[in-house]
Amino acid sequence: MPELDSAQRQTPDSLMLTGFWYRALPADRVHRNQLHKAMLLEIPLVIGRDRGGRPFVLRDACPHRGMPLHCGNFDGENVECSYHGWQFDAHNGQCQIIPSLTAEQNLKVDRIYAGSYPCEEQDGFVWVYIPEASAQGAGFAKREEAPEPAPQIEKFGETSNGKYNLAYLTADMPVSIDHGIIGLMDPAHGPFVHQAWWWRGRHSIHEKQKNFEPIPNGFRMSAHTPSSNSAPYKLLRLYAAADSITTTIDFVLPNLRREIIRAGRYWFSSLTTVTPITRTQCRIDVVAAWNIFRWLPFGPELLKFVFAKFVEQDRRTMELQAEGLQHNPHLMLIDDADRPAKWYFQLKAAHLEAKRTGAEMKHPMAGPVTLRWRS
Ligand code: FES
Ligand SMILES: [Fe+2]
């Protein structure tokens, strides 16, 4: 049996990583000419759409005296603070009008900014780029632009004519970002948490062996034929020969889990994120795109039903776990089932170290690794 050395006794630090894109709100909950509140990484945000439908994200605090901007008015172009009526361009936060100024007072209004964040609408969500803490716009500073576009779900063939479905699920989890993420990657909880008569029970536990390889900022469970007790696999087997089905699962910092299943010309692709809301709260968003079951009227509903069930089981588990975590119990990570969780902590530490020193990030994995566990 492997020894539990002190390095294996790890407690999540729940540090929230800045300098990345995060999902903020489902796009269908952000309406034209309305202001919506959201919280990400303990930053209060106000999110809306201009009259052309383009989304924007501002910090939900007026740079004058801190009034939440979501309490103000929005005319489809500028956000007006409800306290003294200062107006800000919704897209870049630049101040347009300060109503109290007289004609002789020559304060340069356009040098003042409300905090503003790059945002993009992608695969059914409004994404927000959260810059390094030191580079926040607001006051007399302009915002920092995102170094790269927001992450997208991978889609295959036929996408130009829109021949795929897209659906999302979202659930709040009362645990820190670290518990949320390691829960997402944990291979050993399946038979205990995700039991259902139509699915599987603990009697189906068997030994598994999976190959992993390092990828930039993360790791990949290499393409393999999925285990016979995974959800989309059972559905896909209705459409393709079992041995033609392959799946790849990637984890990439800060919070992305991509799963791609391909079976001939059919594919199922999902991008799941765990987003830190506060130090003790996170939110899981699963967005899936697929081109199977499109001709079955109940296809998307069936798939949504299966995933909703899974996410609810995870949410309920984390709710109970939060109770256990309240009084700081001693925790441990074991090999091999918790090795992905260890890699996550190592990647996070390596990322922070690279940021601190300015050197290139040192990947914690030297090369491919095979892990074994029973689940
Ligand atoms: S607090 Fe917003 S205008 Fe004064
Ligand atoms: Fe789960």
pLDDT (tens digit per residue) in 263-286: 888 888 999 999 999 999 999 999
Q: Within 13 A of 253's CA, how many CA atoms are on the CB side?
A: 24
H helices present in the chain, as ranges: 177-185, 190-193, 231-236, 299-325, 339-357
Nearest CA to ligand 1 atom 1: 65
If asked whether residues 69 and 124 sit together in one domain, one would say yes
Do residues 50 and 112 share a domain? yes
Is 359 domain-assigned?
yes
Q: Which ligand sits closest to the CA of 187?
A: 2
pLDDT in tens, 5-46: 444 445 567 789 999 999 999 999 999 989 999 999 999 999
Cα-to-centroid distance, 96 and ligand 2 (Å): 48
Q: Which of 102, 135, 168 is the last residue of a domain?
A: 135
Residue 289, domain extent: 159-374
Do residues 165 and 258 share a domain?
Answer: yes
Length of the chain: 375
Contact 259/247 with Cβ under 8 angstroms?
A: yes
| Pair 104, 244 in one domain | no
Residue 137 Cα to ligand 1 midpoint, Å, equals 17
Looking at the structure, do residues 304 and 183 belong to the same domain, yes or no? yes
Of the ligands numbered here, which is closest to the C-alpha atom of 112? 1
Structure confidence at residue 4 as a pLDDT band (50, 70, 90): very low
For ligand 1, residues with CB inside 6 Å are 62, 64-65, 67, 81, 83-84, 86
Angle at which helix 177-185 crosses helix 339-357, to 10 degrees, equals: 130
Task: Examine residue 180 and state whether it is found in any structural domain, yes or no.
Answer: yes
82 and 218 inside one domain: no
Domain count across the chain: 2
In angstroms, the CA 191 to CA 318 distance is 16
330 and 210 within one domain: yes
| 206 lies in the same domain as 114 | no
Q: Cα(193) to centroid of ligand 2, in Å?
A: 7
Q: Would 10 be classed as within a structural domain? A: no
For 340, other C-beta atoms within 10 Å of its C-beta total 22
pLDDT value at residue 18: 94
The CB density around residue 374, as the number of other CB atoms within 10 Å, is 11
Asked whether the bond before 340 is cis by omega within 30 degrees of 0, the reply is no
Do 257 and 330 share a structural domain?
Answer: yes
Ligand nearest to the CA of 199: 2
State whether 186 and 328 are in the same domain: yes
* CA dist., res. 267 & res. 248, Å (int): 12
Angle, in degrees to the nearest 10, between helices 299-325 and 177-185: 130
